[in-house]
Chains A and B, each alone.
Chain A
Amino acid sequence: MLDFLADVGETVLSTLRDVTPIVVILVVFQVAVLRRRLPNIRGIATGSVMVLLGLALFLIGLEQALFPIGETMAQQLTEKAGAGAGALAGAVRWQDYWVVYLFAAAIGFATTVAEPSLIAVALKAKEVSGGAVNAWGLRIAVAVGVAIGVSLGCFRIVTGTPLPWYIVVAYVVVIIQTFLSSRTIIPLAYDSGGVTTSTVTVPVVAALGLGLAANVPGRSPLIDGFGLIAFASVFPIISVLGYAIVADGLERWRRRSERQEVEP
């Protein structure tokens, strides 16, 4: 119990340390440049304390419950797949690692749905668009993108193919999709690439990459362990733009068929 309380204290302190520079900047600009008091300062202060406490509690819980499990599982799964593969022949066969791809997709999806910064952006998008952007739908689309990205990233680590190939192809896809999408969704889609990789996703995904690179014969954790975060930041852009293009297409098709019914 004492250990636990010490943990709580330490996490609150380190969260405070992260937040202090932001608060200093905001206060300096509010006081020195605007020379005005904040409206509803008590509400904002209570809200900020809640954010701080909530984030600290969230991180403590993750460290107590999820990170150890996630890291052990990543380790065990990659070892299990690696042992089966190494025993057969010297060569690495990417098919032997299907459990890892499955786990990568599942954990990528699940951690993204729980990512607090994505929740924040989705809430804002819903508010700004007057409800036209469905917060839950946006989060699912982003999570699907992260799932595909992390899974493909694991495939890359197993096969040892160069990272830039994948990223360049993904960029080309994003550029093509940009010209096909409606203008209003583009900024939000670009943003969703950056928000996915924060508090929950990065530690679990990094552990997965390092475990995998350490256990696949011929891969070095230092060189091949990188890149999963890059995958997890590009693929959500593709999935959100893709979702928007398909939704737009369906809407247009539905309108056209309605018109045809009205005027035969």
Chain B
Amino acid sequence: MAKRILGALRDLSPIFAVVIFFQVVVLQQPFPDIANVVVGLVCVVLGLALFVQGLESGLFPLGEALAQGMARKGSATALLALGFCLGFGTTVAEPALIAVAAEGAQVAADAQFIGDSQAAQDRYALEVRLVVAVAVGIAIVLGVLRILKGWPIHLFIISGYVLVMAMTLFAPDEIVGVAYDSGGVTTSTITVPLITALGVGLASTIRGRNPMLDGFGLIAFASLTPMIGVLGYGMVV
């Protein structure tokens, strides 16, 4: 544990350095409420150390055991269903996504793109969230299918990029910012280790797959499809 705490201190030292430098040298102001800050920093260091320890003894083995079990069972349908549920279930309630969708609804209302009422905004925000969650579900399904088949990843990502660029031309301006940002906010701190472990676990269990070549890439899919989904939603509505 002592090693973990040292590691966490090292990981966090750049943040401390940046904050101290700008506060003292550039803004030339003392720290507000120093006691709170120190308590907070101790929490951050301990929390990160615990998280990394738990990752290696809990989340990684859990994801891998599940991936290996599913791969041995040999049912592709069950595996794809698991992928969709994981993608959809972890995204629909993601706090960062809720925040971005609400801001996006505000933009759309200001631009007269949707009605100005609260109900119209809420409906729009909810629909954006559902679109993103379904898109992430589809992303994991596609990503798992790619691992099963051993298809090269860059074909998918490059066609995805081309699609995003083409759709940007046709989608209304109000939605482009939200769409681009929705790709980044979907992958949370618990989801990423689990999905990574799932991908790597699958690729190392299935014969002929290389975990380095085939195991990674699920996260990349999950950050690309929401953009396509939201842009498409903007074009349809």
Chain A residues proximal to chain B, CB less than 8 Å: 4, 14, 17-19, 21-22, 24-26, 29-30, 33-34, 36, 38-40, 43-66, 68-70, 72-73, 76-77, 80, 99, 103, 106-107, 109-111, 113-114, 116-117, 119-121, 123-125, 128-129, 143, 163-164, 167-168, 171, 174-175, 178, 183-184, 186-188, 190-191, 193-200, 202, 206, 222-223, 225-230, 232-233
Q: Decide if B70 touches A34 in the complex (CB within 8 Å).
A: yes
With A29-B78, A128-B215, A187-B216 already in contact, the answer to whether A64 and B40 are too (CB < 8 A) is yes
Find chain B residues with CB under 8 A from A228 CB.
181
- Cβ–Cβ < 8 Å partners of B73 in chain A: 33-34
Q: A66-B44, A191-B216 are contacts. A53–B50 as well, Cβ < 8 Å?
A: yes
Q: What 6 pairs across the A-B complex have the smallest Cβ distances?
A: A47-B58, A65-B40, A64-B40, A50-B54, A54-B50, A226-B177
Q: Does B183 contact A (CB under 8 A)?
A: yes
CB-CB under 8 A for A198 and B36, given A54-B48, A175-B158: no
Given contacts A58-B44, A66-B19, 8 further A-B contacts (CB under 8 A): A19-B190, A25-B86, A43-B61, A47-B58, A120-B55, A124-B200, A125-B212, A230-B177
Residues of A within 8 A of B53 (CB): 47, 50, 54
How distant is the Cα of A194 from the Cα of B216 in the complex, in angstroms?
12
Complex: A223 Cα to B176 Cα, angstroms = 10
Q: Are A65 and B41 in contact (CB under 8 A)?
A: yes
Q: Does B103 contact A (CB under 8 A)?
A: yes
Say whether B51 faces chain A, with CB atoms less than 8 Å apart: yes
- Contact across chains for A123 and B55 when beta carbons are under 8 A apart: yes
What is the chain A residue whose CB lies nearest that of B36?
A: A64
For this complex, 13 residue pairs linking A to B, each with C-beta atoms less than 8 Å apart, are A60-B43, A61-B40, A107-B18, A114-B15, A120-B193, A124-B193, A128-B211, A186-B154, A194-B187, A195-B187, A222-B110, A227-B181, A229-B181
Contacts of A164 in B (CB 8 A): 165, 168, 176
Are A73 and B23 interface neighbours, CB within 8 A?
A: yes
In the complex, which residues 47-105 of chain B have their Cβ closer than 8 Å to any Cβ of chain A? 47-62, 65-66, 69-70, 73, 75, 78, 82, 85-86, 89-90, 92-96, 99-100, 103-104
- Complex CA gap A193/B183 in Å reads 10
Is B37 a contact of A38 with CB atoms below 8 Å? no
Chain B interface (Cβ within 8 Å of chain A)? 11-12, 14-15, 17-19, 21-23, 26-27, 29, 31-32, 36-62, 65-66, 69-70, 73, 75, 78, 82, 85-86, 89-90, 92-96, 99-100, 103-104, 106-107, 110, 152-154, 157-158, 161, 164-165, 168, 176-178, 180-181, 183-194, 196-197, 200, 204, 210-220, 222-223
The answer to whether B158 and A178 have CB atoms under 8 Å apart is yes
Is there contact, CB below 8 Å, between A106 and B21? yes
* Cβ A117 vs Cβ B193 within 8 A: yes
Asked if A73 and B153 sit within 8 Å, CB to CB, the answer is no
Pair B176/A106 contact, Cβ less than 8 Å: no
Among candidates B43, B60, B90, B152, residue contacting A21 with C-beta atoms closer than 8 Å: B90
